């Protein structure tokens, strides 16, 4: 017989296990025999194939063509140095390819390391103790405990089940959750057995205890090989934009090269000299390092976020965070500490706060059903370790159990008969136990959900009729407790007949009382909310709590400051049309209370229709649709379910709202940093382009050779550009409104600053240095010089050195488009400082070593050239400081100012 056809105890015995779980020694032995519980990864492309793909990318193909043309020129007219240029271009292709592969490897390693910060765990009975175990360490025979929102980690046979429903869509394709129970199944196929939970599926509702019978590739999930690694990589909009921008620059470079090549021929330039010029022009404008720098900026941002307790699951989320305009957040555990304490009781029309020793004895005698409901109506796991009993689960339920334990006798351990699990629509949890007086139902939940089911009321140990007036007193007590910011729960019970109706036992209940639980706000939340307000990010609370409780907490943390905020309940929301909801969302202060998971999704959709970029938090399985619907889904790392984490784009490792604000800050910094290194790269592209235009139009020797251009792009400026890509967030980044979704990376402000302002200043300094060395009294304007002429070599070296000197100054100017370099400082970024050291060392090697002179066509220059360059470098810094001063005083048009 198959395991699904056996009785629960026989199924356990067939796996040589017990209800107490495996011993550690036996579990270790089985782990060695069966291996880790994980799916085999899909074989990746070979390193050689990935290397070939990099060699044939768009940029590389352009450079391959340039190298081929250089070799053709050398073959046709030897001795012009074109072969050396061809080899240099090939070297650039290889270096760029190796760098991209290294970056890809680093990205993979970083993402793998980040995933390890949040390993998937499961509660397992081992040696009569409940422990938290890594999923991949499960073995056949393990007894696992599952609750709503949990992923089923292996193929399991249920041995206890209370209201269990599972989502089998990933394995069977069934779109509707399927009920499961512990009774033997008549079906032979495991995939359809009513008592089997399949690996890869998820628990939608109920509580389950099950024995594992297949792990890893032996599961049904493994057999059909629906591997999550097969999903396609998402290309972010920003990466697409940079790719398009880079291709546009390449197309323009080729077009400009062809135009000036034709112009040179009409001006009478020798063909091969004109050809060299055209190749150099194209090479000078190709942004070889742009895409690798973008990838590095995103990856290092995820590492910084991880240090700030935020795990990014998808790289595109980093950039989207920067434009977030609305955060829809839960209250419990995110805005509050999730450390519940019972502060007040309402029993027999009387408020009790707190429990004294004398009250414990009196109340225990008169209100035993109330405390039994608090003690027994929960989904906690009891863990007995070294003689001590602890509880695992919801902090609210732990607080209720601890309160009840002060009153009830310790030897009570009734048998659980059935359970009706909590869900957002019912807003209550019900358990049924075998008690000495017979089967008894205990229920707890929202007062508005539980009180209508009650016909009796417990008063000093006696059940009295629960009429309309008494109900109104209960609701008034609820309002009073909620106004104090307490989370209010109602409790009820019912002694069932021996043959009770299992379809609808929640009727004719006896109301026993209310509890008010306090969950204090996190101390860092008010400051985080202040940052949101300054940053133009609206925060909306979506909670299942009472409206008064939500409003009281919102006031305490500073989210609500007016006398009349808009508070919308789930019941009221159900009557809203789409237009009414969108209009309601215009309110400056709005709170949604008693809302379900489906209503969260409606709110998110309405905000998106209004043009907002929405981030939403969630922790339960029912929150998954809202998390997927939002631009940024945020799951809880501690209290969140596996399903919620899988649906989310980012995970809060500390469940703290302040961490969301930190993530938005980092997201804004990423976009700013990309603009910084883009400004830096485009600036030296202009300084490289202008000398070529001067050569074509001014009848002068070529001030900068193609090899020297490549030495700047792939050599001297490489580390400093990367340093700008990993800058820390600007102190004022959260004082700006969110970036519009339509705002482009390269706008008029950035283009004017890089091309017209900084680029022209840098080009002027470099060309002036070239002329300073070249036009000595013995040389007349227009006189032709050979490429090996010592004076010409010194002049090109002066031009190259001028660009490097100006770029050293420029890297500090680009650290902020608005703040003065004196406020942003020269330190704080070790990569930039090391980049400057590398830049200085490399230009000295190029200028003053024999191999540098031979390879790049340079010659040593005197100290007078360096001194000549100093005023230009200082002037560039002064002019940029003046520009920033004018920007800070709003003396530029908005379209230019906003592009900074």
The mean per-residue pLDDT over the stretch 240-263 comes to: 78
What is the pLDDT, as a whole number, of residue 214?
Answer: 93
Q: Is the model more confident about 896 or about 616?
A: 616
User: Taking the CA of residue 286 as centre, how many other CA atoms within 13 Å lie in the half-sphere pointing to its CB?
Assistant: 27
Confidence band of 543 (pLDDT split at 50, 70, 90): confident
* Helix ranges (DSSP H) in 712-826: 718-725, 748-751, 759-774, 790-813, 821-824
User: Cα separation of 470 and 457, whole Å?
Assistant: 9
Spacing of C-alpha 609 from chain mean position? 23
pLDDT at 343 over 80: yes
User: Cα separation of 292 and 269, whole Å?
Assistant: 38
What dihedral angle (degrees, nearest 10) is formed by the CA atoms of 75, 80, 84, 85? -90
Per-residue pLDDT tens for 617-653?
887 666 777 888 888 989 888 777 777 777 788 888 8
For the ranges 33-47, 343-357, 418-432, 519-533, the lowest mean pLDDT is seen at: 33-47
Per-residue pLDDT tens for 859-871?
999 999 999 999 9
Q: Pairing state of beta strands 590-593 and 196-197? A: unpaired
What is the pLDDT, as a whole number, of residue 480?
Answer: 93
Helix axes 759-774, 790-813, angle to 10 degrees: 160
What is the pLDDT, as a whole number, of residue 175?
Answer: 59
% of the chain exceeding 70 in pLDDT: 87
The mean per-residue pLDDT over the stretch 590-602 comes to: 87
- Listed in sequence order, the residues at least 6 apart from 279 whose beta carbon sits closer than 8 Å to its beta carbon are 66, 69, 70, 85, 257, 706
The mean per-residue pLDDT over the stretch 765-776 comes to: 89
For the ranges 491-495, 583-587, 780-784, 794-798, the lowest mean pLDDT is seen at: 780-784
Q: Which of 302, 293, 296, 294 is nearest to 321 (CA)?
A: 302
What is the pLDDT, as a whole number, of residue 293?
Answer: 67
What is the pLDDT, as a whole number, of residue 12?
Answer: 93
User: Cα separation of 602 and 626, whole Å?
Assistant: 8
Q: What is the 3-state secondary structure (H, E, C) of 392-426?
A: ECCHHHHHHHHHHHCCCCCCCCCEEEEEECCCCCC
What is the pLDDT, as a whole number, of residue 812?
Answer: 94
Contact (Cβ atoms closer than 8 angstroms) between residue 144 and residue 161: no
pTM: 0.74
Q: Pairing state of beta strands 632-636 and 341-347? A: unpaired
User: Cα separation of 465 and 752, whole Å?
Assistant: 80
What is the pLDDT, as a whole number, of residue 860?
Answer: 95
Confidence band of 447 (pLDDT split at 50, 70, 90): very high
Q: Which of 485, 405, 487, 492 is nearest to 444 (CA)?
A: 492
What is the pLDDT, as a whole number, of residue 233?
Answer: 46
pLDDT at 198 over 70: yes
User: Cα separation of 139 and 124, whole Å?
Assistant: 11
User: Cα separation of 583 and 324, whole Å?
Assistant: 20
User: Cα separation of 589 and 609, whole Å?
Assistant: 19
Contact (Cβ atoms closer than 8 angstroms) between residue 755 and residue 682: yes
| Cβ atoms within 10 Å of 735's Cβ, excluding its own | 11
Contact (Cβ atoms closer than 8 angstroms) between residue 505 and residue 495: no
pLDDT at 483 over 70: yes
pLDDT at 654 over 80: yes
User: Cα separation of 513 and 393, whole Å?
Assistant: 23
User: Cα separation of 46 and 101, whole Å?
Assistant: 12
Kindly report the CA angle at 492 between 427 and 424, in degrees rounded to 5? 5
What is the pLDDT, as a whole number, of residue 167?
Answer: 82
User: Cα separation of 675 and 670, whole Å?
Assistant: 9
For the ranges 276-285, 556-565, 677-686, the lowest mean pLDDT is seen at: 276-285
User: Cα separation of 196 and 10, whole Å?
Assistant: 15
User: Cα separation of 753 and 880, whole Å?
Assistant: 9
User: Cα separation of 24 and 26, whole Å?
Assistant: 6
The whole-chain average pLDDT of the chain stands at 83
Q: Which of 520, 586, 532 is nearest to 559 (CA)?
A: 532
User: Cα separation of 363 and 348, whole Å?
Assistant: 11
Bridge-partner residues for 487, per DSSP? 517
Confidence band of 108 (pLDDT split at 50, 70, 90): low
Q: Is the model more confident about 234 or about 486?
A: 486
Q: State the DSSP code for 181.
A: -
Contact (Cβ atoms closer than 8 angstroms) between residue 543 and residue 331: yes
| Cβ atoms within 10 Å of 576's Cβ, excluding its own | 17
**Of 51-55, 295-299, 628-632, 703-707, where does the model show the most confidence?**
628-632
User: Cα separation of 443 and 376, whole Å?
Assistant: 9
For the ranges 84-88, 180-184, 830-834, the lowest mean pLDDT is seen at: 84-88
pLDDT at 391 over 70: yes
For the ranges 377-391, 469-483, 799-813, 868-882, the lowest mean pLDDT is seen at: 377-391
| Cβ atoms within 10 Å of 660's Cβ, excluding its own | 25
- Listed in sequence order, the residues at least 6 apart from 873 whose beta carbon sits closer than 8 Å to its beta carbon are 765, 805, 806, 808, 809
User: Cα separation of 195 and 206, whole Å?
Assistant: 14
Q: Is the model more confident about 780 or about 898?
A: 780
The mean per-residue pLDDT over the stretch 328-356 comes to: 84
Q: Is the model more confident about 679 or about 116?
A: 679
What is the pLDDT, as a whole number, of residue 842?
Answer: 92
pLDDT at 366 over 70: yes
Q: Is the model more confident about 105 or about 135?
A: 135
Confidence band of 57 (pLDDT split at 50, 70, 90): confident
Confidence band of 259 (pLDDT split at 50, 70, 90): confident
φ, ψ of residue 775 to 5 degrees: the values are: -90, 80
Phi-psi domain of 655 (left: phi exceeds 0; alpha: psi -120 through 50; beta: other) = left
3-state SS, residue 820: coil
Bridge-partner residues for 438, per DSSP? 435
User: Cα separation of 634 and 627, whole Å?
Assistant: 7
Give pairs for 699-702: CB < 8 Å, separation 24+.
Answer: 699/781, 699/782, 700/774, 700/781, 700/782, 701/774, 701/784, 701/785, 701/792, 701/795, 702/276, 702/277, 702/280, 702/796
What dihedral angle (degrees, nearest 10) is formed by the CA atoms of 859, 860, 865, 869? 80
Render the burial of 696-710: b for 16+ CB within 10 Å, e for the rest.
Answer: beeebbbbbbbbbbb
Confidence band of 231 (pLDDT split at 50, 70, 90): very low
How many distinct helices (H) and strands (E) make up the chain?
Answer: 34, 26
Give the active site residue among 167, 330, 713, 847: 330
Confidence band of 199 (pLDDT split at 50, 70, 90): confident
Q: Which of 435, 355, 422, 358 is nearest to 394 (CA)?
A: 422
User: Cα separation of 15 and 544, whole Å?
Assistant: 43
Burial (CB count <10 Å: 0-12, 13-18, 19+), residue 686: buried
Give kind and range of the element (H or E) at residue 557: helix 547-557
Q: Which of 794, 764, 765 is nearest to 779 (CA)?
A: 794
Q: State the DSSP code for 753.
A: I
User: Cα separation of 844 and 539, whole Å?
Assistant: 54
**Of 48-57, 315-324, 561-570, where does the model show the most confidence?**
561-570
What is the pLDDT, as a whole number, of residue 228?
Answer: 39
What is the pLDDT, as a whole number, of residue 230?
Answer: 40
pLDDT at 898 over 50: no
Bridge-partner residues for 284, per DSSP? none
φ, ψ of residue 582 to 5 degrees: the values are: -65, -40
pLDDT at 238 over 70: no
What is the pLDDT, as a whole number, of residue 798?
Answer: 95
Confidence band of 490 (pLDDT split at 50, 70, 90): very high
Contact (Cβ atoms closer than 8 angstroms) between residue 587 and residue 568: no
* Helix ranges (DSSP H) in 35-130: 47-55, 58-76, 82-116
What is the pLDDT, as a whole number, of residue 510?
Answer: 96
pLDDT at 140 over 90: yes
What is the pLDDT, as a whole number, of residue 232?
Answer: 41
Per-residue pLDDT tens for 568-584?
998 899 999 999 999 99
Kindly report the CA angle at 657 between 654 and 659, in degrees rounded to 5? 60
What is the pLDDT, as a whole number, of residue 176?
Answer: 67
Q: Is 330 a catalytic residue?
A: yes
pLDDT at 448 over 80: yes
Confidence band of 892 (pLDDT split at 50, 70, 90): low
What is the pLDDT, as a whole number, of residue 162?
Answer: 86
Confidence band of 170 (pLDDT split at 50, 70, 90): low
User: Cα separation of 191 and 654, whole Å?
Assistant: 37
| Cβ atoms within 10 Å of 852's Cβ, excluding its own | 20
Give how far Cα 563 sits from Cα of 85, 266, 538, 542, 552, Å: 74, 78, 18, 20, 12
């Amino acid at each position: 017989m198959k395991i699904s056809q056996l009785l629960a105890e026989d199924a356990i015995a067939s796996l040589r296990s017990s209800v107490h779980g495996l011993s550690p020694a036996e579990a270790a032995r089985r782990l060695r025999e069966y291996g880790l519980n994980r799916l085999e990864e899909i074989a990746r492309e070979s390193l050689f194939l990935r290397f070939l793909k990099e060699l044939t990318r768009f940029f590389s193909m352009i450079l391959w063509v340039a190298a081929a043309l250089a070799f053709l020129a050398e073959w046709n007219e030897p001795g012009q140095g074109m072969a050396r240029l061809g080899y240099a271009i090939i070297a650039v292709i290889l270096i760029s390819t190796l760098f991209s592969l290294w970056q890809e490897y680093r990205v993979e390693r970083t993402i793998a390391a980040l995933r390890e910060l949040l390993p998937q765990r499961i509660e397992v009975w081992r040696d009569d103790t409940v422990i938290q175990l890594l999923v991949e360490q499960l073995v056949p025979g393990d007894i696992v405990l599952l609750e709503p929102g949990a992923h089923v980690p292996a193929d399991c046979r249920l041995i206890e089940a209370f209201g269990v429903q599972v989502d089998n869509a990933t394995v069977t394709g069934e779109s509707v959750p399927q009920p499961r129970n512990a009774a033997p199944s008549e079906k032979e196929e495991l995939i359809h057995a009513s008592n089997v939970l399949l690996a890869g599926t998820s628990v939608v509702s109920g509580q389950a205890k099950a024995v594992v019978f297949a792990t890893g590739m032996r599961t049904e999930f493994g057999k059909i090989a629906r591997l999550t690694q097969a999903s396609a990589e998402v290309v972010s909009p920003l990466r697409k934009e940079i790719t398009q921008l880079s291709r546009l620059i390449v197309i323009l470079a080729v077009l400009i090269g062809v135009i000036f090549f034709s112009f040179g021929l009409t001006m009478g330039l020798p063909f091969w000299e004109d050809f060299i010029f055209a190749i150099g022009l194209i090479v000078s404008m190709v942004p070889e390092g742009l895409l690798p720098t973008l990838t590095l900026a995103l990856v290092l941002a995820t590492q910084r976020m991880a240090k700030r307790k935020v795990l990014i699951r998808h790289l595109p989320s980093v950039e989207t965070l920067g434009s977030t305009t609305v955060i829809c957040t839960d209250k419990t555990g995110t805005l509050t500490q999730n450390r519940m304490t019972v502060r007040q009781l309402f029993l027999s029309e009387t408020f009790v706060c707190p429990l004294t020793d004398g009250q414990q004895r009196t109340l225990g005698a008169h209100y035993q059903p109330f405390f039994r409901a608090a003690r027994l109506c929960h989904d906690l796991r009891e863990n007995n370790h070294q003689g001590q009993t602890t509880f695992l689960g919801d902090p609210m339920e732990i607080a209720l159990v601890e309160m009840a334990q002060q009153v009830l006798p310790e030897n009570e351990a009734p048998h659980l008969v059935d359970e009706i699990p909590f869900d957002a629509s019912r807003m209550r949890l019900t358990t049924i136990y075998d008690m000495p007086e017979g089967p008894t139902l205990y229920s707890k939940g929202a007062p508005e959900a539980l009180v209508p089911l009650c016909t009796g009321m417990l008063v000093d140990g006696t059940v009295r009729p629960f009429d309309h007036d008494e109900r109104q007193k209960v609701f008034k007590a609820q309002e009073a407790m909620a106004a104090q910011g307490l989370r209010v729960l109602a409790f009820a019970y019912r002694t069932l007949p021996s043959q009770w109706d299992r379809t609808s036992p929640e009727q004719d209940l006896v109301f026993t009382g209310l509890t008010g639980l306090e969950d204090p706000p996190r101390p860092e939340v008010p400051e985080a909310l202040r940052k949101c307000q300054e940053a133009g990010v609206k925060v909306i609370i979506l909670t299942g709590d009472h409206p008064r409780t939500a409003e009281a907490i919102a006031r305490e943390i500073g989210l609500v400051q007016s006398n009349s905020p808009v508070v919308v309940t789930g019941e009221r929301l159900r009557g809203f049309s789409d237009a009414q909801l969108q209009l309601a969302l215009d309110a400056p202060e709005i709170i949604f209370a008693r809302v379900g998971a489906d209503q969260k999704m409606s709110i998110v959709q309405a905000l998106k229709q209004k043009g907002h970029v929405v981030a939403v938090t969630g922790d339960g399985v029912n929150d998954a649709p809202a998390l997927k619907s939002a631009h940024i889904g945020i799951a809880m790392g501690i209290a969140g379910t596996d399903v919620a984490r899988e649906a989310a784009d980012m995970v809060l490792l500390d469940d703290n709202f302040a961490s969301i604000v930190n993530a938005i800050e980092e997201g804004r910094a990423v976009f700013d940093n990309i603009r910084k290194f883009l400004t830096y790269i485009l600036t030296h592209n202009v300084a490289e382009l202008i000398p070529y235009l001067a050569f074509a139009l001014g009848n002068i020797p070529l001030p900068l050779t193609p090899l020297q251009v490549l030495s700047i792009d792939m050599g001297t400026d490489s580390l400093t550009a990367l340093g700008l890509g990993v800058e820390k967030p600007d102190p004022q980044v959260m004082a700006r409104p969110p970036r519009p979704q339509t705002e482009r990376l390269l706008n008029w402000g950035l283009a004017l600053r890089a091309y017209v302002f900084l680029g022209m200043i840098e080009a002027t300094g470099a060309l002036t240095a070239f002329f300073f060395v070249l036009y000595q009294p013995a040389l007349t304007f227009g006189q032709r010089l050979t490429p090996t002429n010592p004076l010409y070599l010194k002049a090109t070296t002066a031009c190259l050195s001028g660009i490097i000197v100006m770029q050293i100054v420029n890297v500090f100017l680009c650290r902020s488009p608005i703040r003065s370099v004196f406020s942003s400082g020269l330190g704080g970024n070790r990569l930039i400082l090391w980049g400057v050291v590398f830049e200085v060392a490399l230009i000295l090697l190029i200028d003053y070593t024999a191999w540098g002179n031979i390879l790049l066509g340079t010659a040593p220059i005197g100290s007078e050239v360096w001194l000549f360059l100093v005023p230009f470098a200082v002037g560039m810094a002064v002019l940029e400081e003046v520009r920033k001063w004018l920007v800070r005083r709003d003396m530029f048009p908005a379209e230019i100012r906003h592009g900074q």
